[in-house]
Amino acid sequence: MYSSSPKKGFLEVICGPMFSGKSEELIRRLRRAQIGQQSVISFNPGIDTRTPSHKIASHNGTSFQAVTIQSPEQMMNFITTTHNVIGIDEAQFFSADLVNIICDLIDSGKRVIVTGLNLDFKAVPFGTIPLLMAIADTVTKLSAICVLCGNDAYLTQRIVNNEPAKFDDPIIKPGAQESYQARCRSCHVIDKKPLWQKTL
Ligand SMILES: [Zn+2]
């Protein structure tokens, strides 16, 4: 149902490769809102084994309380009219239903802040993040540092048995940090390029 609320909300997307500080940036924005006396709630997907204990955790050790959910619909069991700000971490792991739910939240006046990998290890746009980036009011694209050359890294390298993963290797569960590296485009190794006309 399209909201008739005169005051719409806002969508902010924080994206980038692994180790670029996306969760850290989300936590910073959520804490800032809390300090401003705003009502904040945040969510993360249950499949991220790095954060099993109902919190958003960044690689630098900061964390923020979160409701761990399996599907985006579950968010509606927790979000109330009093919440001003909604954080969603690792959104690339949620189903496409997330997009409609976020649009409804924005229409009802919520400020929604989403993090996610915009590209998977194959350098292919990941899940709903590209769509959310298009819809968003602001997009913050973070970079990491390439572990091989030190340049800015916008890609995630998957390593399997000390070798670069193949394009057709299945995406496995996240959280195995030793299996992924941030790399620049020059140092990123993948055996195939995506055929865009088939993926669009
Ligand atoms: Zn590099």
Per-residue pLDDT of the chain (200 residues; tens, 9 = 90+): 555 557 999 999 999 999 999 999 999 999 999 999 999 999 999 875 554 558 888 888 889 999 999 999 999 999 999 999 999 999 999 999 999 999 999 999 999 999 999 999 999 999 999 999 999 999 999 999 999 999 999 999 999 878 898 888 766 545 444 589 999 999 999 999 888 876 56
Q: What does the pLDDT read at residue 169? A: 74
What is the residue-wise DSSP string for 23-82? HHHHHHHHHHHHHTT--EEEEEETT-TT--SSEEE-TTS-EEE-EEESSGGGGGGT--TT
- What spacing in Å lies between the alpha carbon of 191 and ligand 1's midpoint? 17
pTM (predicted TM-score): 0.89
- What spacing in Å lies between the alpha carbon of 153 and ligand 1's midpoint? 7
- What spacing in Å lies between the alpha carbon of 199 and ligand 1's midpoint? 27
Q: What does the pLDDT read at residue 4? A: 56
Closest CA to 54 of 67, 63, 42, 45: 67
Q: Does CATH place domain 10-142 in 3.40.50.300?
A: yes
Other C-beta atoms lying within 10 Å of the C-beta of residue 54: 14
102 sits in which H/E element: helix 97-107
Which residues, listed in sequence order, are joined to residue 181 by a DSSP beta bridge? Answer: 157
Q: What does the pLDDT read at residue 140? A: 98
Distance, CA of 75 to CA of 98 (rounded, Å): 10
- What spacing in Å lies between the alpha carbon of 69 and ligand 1's midpoint? 35
| Nearest-5° Cα angle at 154, 170 to 27 | 90
Q: Which of 25, 73, 90, 178 is catalytic?
A: 90
Q: What does the pLDDT read at residue 163? A: 87
- What spacing in Å lies between the alpha carbon of 127 and ligand 1's midpoint? 25
Active site residue 90: yes
CA dihedral 192, 194, 198, 200 (to 10 degrees): 170
Coil, strand, or helix at residue 133? helix
Domains of the chain: which residue ranges?
Answer: 10-142
What phi and psi, each to the nearest 5 degrees, are found at residue 163? -125, 150
